[in-house]
Chains A and B, each alone.
Chain A
Amino acid sequence: MNIQTQIKRTPTEEALLAAFAERAAHLPGDARVAEKREEAVELLRRGLPSRKIEAWHYTDLRRLLSSVPAFDFSAGVEPVPALLPNSSVLPVLNGVAAKAETPQGVSVAAMTNALSDGSFVKLLGAVAPEDTVGAINSAFAADGYVVEIPAGAAVAKPIELQNIHAGGQVHTRFAVRTGEGSKATIVERQTGEGGALVSSVSHLDVGDGAEILWLIVQEQPEGATHLGQINVKIGRNAKFTLFLMNAGGKLVRQELRIVAEGEGSKFRLRGVNLLSGDTHCDVTMVLDHAAPHTISTETIRNVVTGKAEGAFQGQIRVARPAQKTDAKMACNTLLLSDEGGFSAKPELEIFADDVACGHGATVTEIQPDHLFYLMARGIDEKTARGLLVKAFLAEVIEELEDEPAIEVLEAKLDAWFAAHV
């Protein structure tokens, strides 16, 4: 007897299955896509993961996902102003790819078409039994964008993918392929209004020798659940920087699945998690060093206020052929409240013998002597705390070496401090 069938389904699980039963007929896709969706739902029928599932140890989704709102296509929603100046915005509004201006030299198609004609079927489905984010999204995803950046293109304007909702449920897919030697900045915005259930899964192929910066800025409203996932393959000698800012949501799980596939590829992850209220935020990374001479650095900085809880699971797997891998991972937390908490779980799985891998995690509070020093110069306590918290986070942001991005991200920090610190 299968053990999962013994567990009584929670109302949330029932609601998810009921939502699928209701939506299935309206979802785009040919027979193969429908089959993939059915497989994904089969996974959900076995129940949402609890903390007994290792990958969900810090985020008991079964318990934490307490309600599943109905789909709501009635509310109108507008794109938000772009994060970076002169961006080409590709908005998905309440789950529908709105008509957008196509960035110059780049091809853009609506995901709904790629689903309908079956050309996207390969990327649909859960990658593993514990891939619940992939399963939920594969079951329901209806739209998004497919973006192709041709080889050699240096895309001057940042491309901003917006996933904006007005409550209800939204399940979105983005797929971006960047050709050999191309250069681009891609922004992924996740925000909206109301207590929505959002899942958003992105795929990125970084071509050989390409240089790509991808910024995820998640600012969901207080009551929202955000289930995010990005799947990246990095080609030979390519450079990929992923910046992640979590600054909202009630229940947040952001998965980063990165494969340094090509020899000599470089990966940088810089993450800033701003946790307030009773937010639960989980960033889970699985990084595969699959080829020799691949270099990666991962720095995550967290600030925790209120009763917020956070977790970072960082798994680095170095495959046998990936000799001369150099990987450094750090997770540092500034705890501003006695009631909040943050867990860090670094994991190294190394099968190659000639590698340099390291990791470290710290949890600290604002140092009273630093605070005293600033206040002794006439800086009031709130401002002094803000300066110290900003200092802690700005170090990571400034590593982006992209002035407009640094400026807007630091402005977001300031706005967050004003509201929460």
Chain B
Amino acid sequence: MLEIKNLHARIAEDGTEILRGVNLTMKPGEVAAIMGPNGSGKSTLSYVIAGREDYEVTEGDILFNGESILEMDPAERAAAGVFLAFQYPMEIPGVATMEFLKVAMNSQRKARGDEELKIPELMKRVRKAAEELSMDMGMLKRPLNVGFSGGEKKRAEILQMKLLEPALCVLDETDSGLDIDALKIVADGVNALRSPDRAIVVITHYQRLLDYIVPDSVHVLYKGRVVKSGEKELAQELEKNGYAGLIGEAA
């Protein structure tokens, strides 16, 4: 479903190379965890998959369902089924959350040739998804993410993910800034989305989230490269021994 091949990427503005040959292959239904110390390129990888313009791919490719997505803009990637849950969701004053959800859902439907959803059906779906995430509908009347707490923002990201039903979910440090109750709610939300035709990439710094979202595979990113891959036990090993041993090994 997702094939990342020898991916090199740099910061467009100053040319700093961040990704130096990432390889990663995921099958439909797979949940992969990407771990690594700060500065290893985890967030960059998520942005490059989503198509953020601040980064330039200099070598390699990202294939999604067999086709390169590098020439697609972020909206086209999203319509094709790529979803990034942001580590720091943007606050956008003046854009009502509900209006945003409506435009996003219908834009994707339109791009795929599906009929746009009418307001009552849309409201029904939003209400159901919000309930499952213990979110207050009042929040959705506010401007997008404005004044939301850290936990509320992460929940809002998962809400969007549920509503947009992407084929590939990339969660960038979704656990950061969450207390344990919020973490459980968010993890339950992600687990509910596990399905045989959906791949999920969980980017995290800590093992903690992986107690709740149990991955099929774990990949360690270091200095812009996947230096080790394994099964879920690899995460526990990292938690116990830290990255130091592994990094020494890789170097």
Contacts and interface: CB of A to CB of B under 8 A. Distances in A.
Interface of A: 368-370, 372-381, 383-384, 387-388, 390-392, 394-395
B50 A376 contact: yes
A391 B86 contact: no
Nearest to B143: A391
B90 A378 contact: no
B73 A383 contact: no
Given A370-B90, A372-B52, A372-B74, A378 B107 contact: yes
Contact of B107 (A372, A383, A388, A391): A383
B123 interface: no
Contact of B75 (A370, A375, A394, A395): A375
Contact of A391 (B52, B75, B94, B104): B94
A178 B221 CA distance: 72
B89 A390 contact: no
Interface string B84-120: 1010011011110001100110011001000000000
B94 A394 contact: yes
B53 interface: yes
A288 to B, nearest CB: 32
Interface string B154-170: 00000010001000000
Contacts of A381: 73, 75
A378 B53 contact: no
Given A372-B52, A372-B53, A374-B100, A380 B75 contact: yes
B74 A375 contact: yes
Nearest to B103: A379
A384 B104 CA distance: 9
B35 interface: no
Given A372-B52, A378-B78, A381-B73, A392 B94 contact: yes
Contacts of A368: 53-54
Nearest to B54: A368
Nearest to A395: B94
Given A379-B107, A390-B94, A384 B75 contact: yes
B33 interface: no
A388 B53 contact: no
B190 interface: no
A268 to B, nearest CB: 19
A380 B160 CA distance: 17
A379 B111 CA distance: 9
A373 B92 contact: yes
A420 B84 CA distance: 31
Tell me which of A372, A373, A376, A379 has the highest count of chain B C-beta atoms within 10 A of its own C-beta: A376
Q: Which 3 A-B pairs have the closest CB atoms?
A: A391-B94, A378-B78, A378-B108
Contacts of B84: 376
Given A372-B52, A379-B104, 9 more contacts: A368-B54, A372-B74, A375-B74, A375-B75, A376-B78, A377-B100, A378-B75, A391-B92, A391-B143
30 contacts: A368-B53, A372-B52, A372-B53, A372-B74, A373-B89, A374-B95, A374-B100, A375-B51, A375-B75, A375-B78, A376-B75, A376-B78, A377-B78, A377-B100, A377-B107, A377-B160, A378-B75, A378-B79, A379-B75, A379-B78, A379-B104, A380-B75, A381-B73, A383-B103, A383-B107, A388-B95, A390-B94, A391-B94, A391-B95, A395-B94
A379 B76 CA distance: 8
Contacts of A374: 92, 95, 100, 104
A368 B73 CA distance: 13
B107 A380 contact: yes
Contacts of A394: 94
A32 B85 CA distance: 73
Contact of A388 (B51, B92, B160): B92
A204 B70 CA distance: 60
A60 to B, nearest CB: 34
Contacts of B52: 372, 376
Contacts of B74: 372, 375-376
A384 B78 CA distance: 13
Contacts of A370: 90, 92
Contacts of B95: 374, 387-388, 391
A392 B94 CA distance: 6
A391 B93 contact: yes
A391 B91 CA distance: 12
Nearest to B80: A378
A248 B51 CA distance: 37
B94 A378 contact: no
A395 B160 CA distance: 24
Nearest to A386: B103
A387 B103 contact: yes
B51 A376 contact: yes
